[in-house]
Structure 1
Amino acid sequence: MIGLLAMGPLSDRIGRKCSIVISGLIGATFGILRSFTSWYWMYIALEFIEAAFGDVASSIFMLSIEMVAPDKRILFQMWCAAGFAFGFIVLPVAAWQVPYWRNLLRVIYSPALLFILYLFLIDESPRWLLSRGKKDKAIAIINKIAKTDKVAINKDILENISSEKYNEIPLSKLLKNTLTSKTLLKIFLICITWWSVSTFVNYGIQINSVSIEGNKYVIFGLISVSETAANIITTYSMIGFRRKIPLVLSFFLAGLSCFVQPFLPNNIPWLTITVYMFGKLMASIFFYITYLYTSELFPTYTRNTMHSLCSSIGRIGSIIAPQTPLLGPLT
């Protein structure tokens, strides 16, 4: 929640590529350091720093949507989000095979050290470069892409690409401009609302999945499989029905699934798991749509800042979600 307020503006200031490398290495370093501490509060402090400044998701997402044309954005995002879904599936397998928590932390965080290679493997976002007045670098990347894909680009078109360096907008001024505009304020409040609900329901279902009767690793893995299905369904539903209808429908069906869950008979475990997985499927769908939809509401030069701000405030849902298992004894 706190880190997004720093990493979003940082990504807009120094670029998507550098932000990805920096946050990835921070996450790996502090994640591994946690495995060596024997003091509880030191563990908490290291986890706080890792969670705050080691999250690469926002910068990677912005880079991925800015590298392709708007009409190809949804399909491209599906392939990128496949990695997110795959990670969710691998996590319970790793936890099952490496149950000792110190070794598990080293296993799941060590691969993030490879983020240093992104300095050589990926290019900066041409859209970000243009928004910073770095037209020559942006054109060089576009030409590199065209050469790789064996596509001829008219030089006159490249020369006529608009490039304007936007002045840095402090977070305080950005908030002032947003809160004093009725249209922007409305959009901002809606984004905060759906982010809070998205994080609360999505992570709440994920966390509580281990309370379902059965092997907790297998059940967590099955629930995680829904991420892959949600990724595909989200892509083609947004292609056919845009954003609003799939978003509203998935919100409604996820809420309905959560509502009926307590009324299901305990002696039919397959029904409980099926309804639970359906709820997680719907929650994953509206989480994906929320991520993309929010980014499309703000211009390039403040896109990551405002996206991170909405996501940051929306983490109120993430904070509440881990407390939901405490409701178990009351039911």
Structure 2
Amino acid sequence: MAAQTLFTFAQVFSTSWIVFVLLLFVNGLGQISNFVAALVLGAEVLTGNVRVLYSSMGTCLGFAVGYMLLPVVAYFLRDWKSLLMALSIPALAYIPLWWLLPESPRWLLSQGRVEEAEAIIRKAAQWNKVQAPRVIFENYSVKETKAYKEPNSMLDILRHSSIRTTTLILCLVSFTMTTGYYSLSFNTAQLHDDPYISCFISAVVEVPAYVSSWIALRYLPRRLSVTSTLILGSVPLFMIQLVPQNLFGLSLALEMVGKYAFTTGASLMFAYTTELYPTSLRNTATGTTTTVSRMGSCITPFLLSLGAYFNHLPYITIGTLAVATAFAALLLPESFKQPLPETIQQMHEREMYVLHVL
């Protein structure tokens, strides 16, 4: 958050377009790192339905609210420097979070810091007015957890064959969801003649998608939800080819259905990914899949430029990719109504069970 705030503020004093873009690049690093870290922290601190609510509605709906506020603020602050100042200064209000937000007890345990984890749990019990047991983590000792401290680098998610397969499929699914989301989002100029209203409408469309993701995470198996959103996102893109050119409104409606599906799926993937990996790899794996997914947003302008050769080629490409990815998603482990894995061994056993069933 510090990096995001600092470099947003620094952009105000840019002396050239090159400097502005370089600062924006570092700003983006801070923004997505902040998003992923907050997602994983909430997933590890919270439990049950509250965790599902936070991982979907909490993070993603918060993103949609910020998305809606952006064109509203920009409408009244037409100067780009004033807009950047307005975006950076409120972030100072989040400085107290350093002292208010607890560290993840799961992560502390994985690092052998048992006493710190117990202190956080006791404080949570005090806040909730419940009596904590005398010994909370009776099966842990500082000496044992340090002796069996699990690896947590990006190479470790590729070392085991089953975990490597899961990671690659998750990267593919996240890449497809993000590519579809940004490809359809970049067409928001067609929603309204006024770009501010157009941007606002595009943000509002995402609200029901995030609500849908929460409902799906609450009541439906993960693989079914992810596969269904991929198919739902692809079907409207194939149907657009059949719409006559004079029915522009129908084509736009089909695009919005596709965006709704990919937005729902992208939100599902954030929660799904955190549920599959053990504590030692959760942050690394979520960051890895997010990084790969952002490659989808990078290629989006080039993908849309294919429309210059054939008008429907971008839609066909995204739709075909979504269908292929839907079949690959069926190979992912299921995490619905299952506790978060704490160790690599627990994740490995879950994946072996899925492969055996298949």
Q: Structure 1 residues 312, 222: CA separation in 2 closer, same or farther (over 3 Å shift)?
A: same
Partner SS state of residue 57, structure 1: helix
The CA RMSD over aligned residues, in Å, is 2.3
Aligned mates of 1:131, 1:94 — CA distance in 2: 43
Matches within 5 A, 1:82-101: 82-101=61-80
One-letter amino acid of the counterpart of residue 62, structure 1: V
- Structure 1 residue 247: deviation in Å? 0.6
Partner SS state of residue 193, structure 2: coil
Aligned mates of 2:138, 2:187 — CA distance in 1: 54
Is the aligned partner of 1:34 residue 2:11? yes
Matches within 5 A, 1:1-331: 24-55=1-32, 56-70=34-48, 72-81=50-59, 82-156=61-135, 158-160=136-138, 162=140, 164-165=145-146, 167=149, 169=151, 171=153, 174-175=154-155, 177-261=156-240, 263-265=242-244, 267-268=246-247, 270-327=249-306, 329-330=308-309, 331=311
Aligned mates of 1:96, 1:161 — CA distance in 2: 57
Unmatched runs of 5 consecutive residues or more in structure 2: 312-358
Partner SS state of residue 277, structure 2: coil
Q: Percent identity?
A: 27
What TM-score, normalized by structure 2, do the two folds share?
A: 0.77
| Alignment check: 8 A CA contact 2:157 2:281 kept | no
Describe the superposition over 1:49-107 as per-residue Cα deviations: whole angstroms up to 9, x where unpaired: 11123431010001111111245421233441231221111122222222322222222
Q: Structure 1 residues 92, 259: CA separation in 2 closer, same or farther (over 3 Å shift)?
A: farther
What TM-score, normalized by structure 1, do the two folds share?
A: 0.83
Describe the superposition over 1:137-180 as per-residue Cα deviations: whole angstroms up to 9, x where unpaired: 21221122111111222224x14153624647473xx42x4444
One-letter amino acid of the counterpart of residue 66, structure 1: E
- Structure 1 residue 275: deviation in Å? 2.6
- Structure 1 residue 270: deviation in Å? 4.5
- Structure 1 residue 254: deviation in Å? 1.1
Aligned mates of 1:254, 1:314 — CA distance in 2: 17
The aligned length equals 304
- Structure 1 residue 253: deviation in Å? 1.0
One-letter amino acid of the counterpart of residue 224, structure 1: A
Higher mean alpha-carbon deviation, 320-329 vs 305-314, is at 320-329
Higher mean alpha-carbon deviation, 111-120 vs 248-257, is at 111-120
Partner SS state of residue 315, structure 1: helix
Partner SS state of residue 187, structure 2: helix
Aligned mates of 1:211, 1:109 — CA distance in 2: 29
- Structure 1 residue 308: deviation in Å? 0.8
Aligned mates of 2:246, 2:286 — CA distance in 1: 44
Unmatched runs of 5 consecutive residues or more in structure 1: 1-23
| Alignment check: 8 A CA contact 2:229 2:265 kept | yes
One-letter amino acid of the counterpart of residue 235, structure 2: L
Partner SS state of residue 112, structure 2: coil
- Structure 1 residue 304: deviation in Å? 0.4
Aligned mates of 1:117, 1:219 — CA distance in 2: 35
Q: Structure 1 residues 216, 324: CA separation in 2 closer, same or farther (over 3 Å shift)?
A: farther
